[in-house]
Amino acid sequence: MIKNYINGQWGESQGRESVEVVNPATKELLDRCPLGTPGDVDRAVQAASSAFVSWRRTPVIDRVQPFFRLKTLMEENLPALARQVTIENGKILAEAIGSVRRAIQMVETACGMPSLMMGQFSEDIAGEIDCLSVRQPIGVFASINPFNFPAMVPFWFWPFAVAAGNTFIVKPSERVPLTQIKIFELIEKAGFPKGVINMVQGGKEVVNALLAHPTIKGISFVGSTPVAKYVYQTGTANLKRVQALGGAKNSMVVLPDASLEKSARVAFESITGCAGERCLAGSVVICVGDEVDRKFRDLVIPIASDTIVGNGLEARVQMGPVISEAARERIKGLIQSAVDEGADLLLDGRKNLGDLPGFFLRPTVIGGVRPGMRIAEEEIFGPVVCLAKVDSFDDAIRWINSSPYGNTTTLFTTSGAAARKFSYEVDPGMVGINIGVPAPMAFFSFGGRKDSFFGDVKAHGNQCINFFTDTKVITERWLKDSSIW
């Protein structure tokens, strides 16, 4: 049974129920994850709260030293960590390696906390009066993490919180807890003081306990929009800071001047990478004009047909499984809804799966997608290419801005003027120009808009320092002492 990590020690959960952790490529039972209890959460909070007293007084230059050691340990163990990601999540090994590298980049950026959390100073704001502001840590924070990036997503939050002087509790997804077990073994070796960084396993009961615990000051979440909204509403009702990253429906626009062959390849990789299970995945490819639509179909169908699907540990495989049978059935249902609503099923990825033992789908290509169809509006989270046609660039922008989601969008063009218009007018918070997955680096902030993000301050980069610290402003005047002057 998988364990918790609280106050520098590995221990059993108080929860008596558990869920299976299954390799989605083989259906092999890997382990069981306990469904923790509010008691588990409270023990972790007490440990983190006690550790905060001394950790917040630790000079920032000393707080970042364990991060330098952790960076080295993660680089040395990158192959093993990536392999574990593939085994429990299903994404191919190259994708898993990339996700672990992203986690390492977060650690690298957090090492710059001595500069990132600097305040401001101004002298003589009035006669002989000076004013300064400092950023101070707040206390205990926690993150509730998704299944799709077992290594990377927790690192969007805790390195920045901890380097800034807070203490932290990580709740991995109960579907994929094994990667975080390996990472916490490295955290232990890196020498973080007891209680500074903790991990609690569990499901909804643990989530609710984290959201309700009065000592926890803030919550970071990544997952679906309905749950993100619930986390935001519940957390803020309990007077917590909350950043809740939700779902997406990312459209990609192709203009007639684009390099169509490159665009088709990039768009396809965006949509089907990680089997489509990422919040930055493309979904609907909006082709401007009949000719672009026809050519794009002709280009993308062979790419999709030739994609090698299988176990992500095998070198030749280009796409792995989705996370579960329930996920596969949900995606199949969305594909069928498109057919029922009159779309063109150009390539059916539900077929020819007999030789694949896990939760596999092959890439699907659907043409003639129109606004109002379920496939056009719901997040798929699977390897389904939706092709739509509009008459003008403005029509494409209106399509994007009509969506309740606002995570990412991409434009394929060779025109700088078109790129500027697009970046200026579209709603989503992250925009790509000729880039299929516009994922910001660790030193830029990450987050969407509308129903893709609930909160005020986004993840990683400079912005997140505002989330994990509070500003104190000090106005001071020193009167002259006649015995000295």
215: number of Cβ within 10 Å: 12
Is 111 known to be catalytic? no
The one catalytic residue in 33, 111, 274, 279 is: 279
Q: 238: which 2 tokens? A: 């309990």
**How far, in Å, are 77, 160, 252, 346 from residue 80 at the CA level?**
5, 24, 35, 39
**Whole-number Å distance between alpha carbons of 345 and 368:** 9
**Rama region for 197: left / alpha / beta (φ>0; ψ in -120 to 50; rest):** beta
Residue 51 Rama label (left phi>0; alpha psi -120 to 50; beta)? alpha
Q: C-alpha 8: how far from its chain's center?
A: 26
- At 208, the amino acid letter reads N
Least Cα distance to 102 among 280, 221, 271, 267 occurs for: 280
Between CA 367 and CA 415 the distance in angstroms is 26
406, β-bridge pairs? 449
**How distant is the alpha carbon of residue 207 from its chain centre?**
17
Active site residues: 279
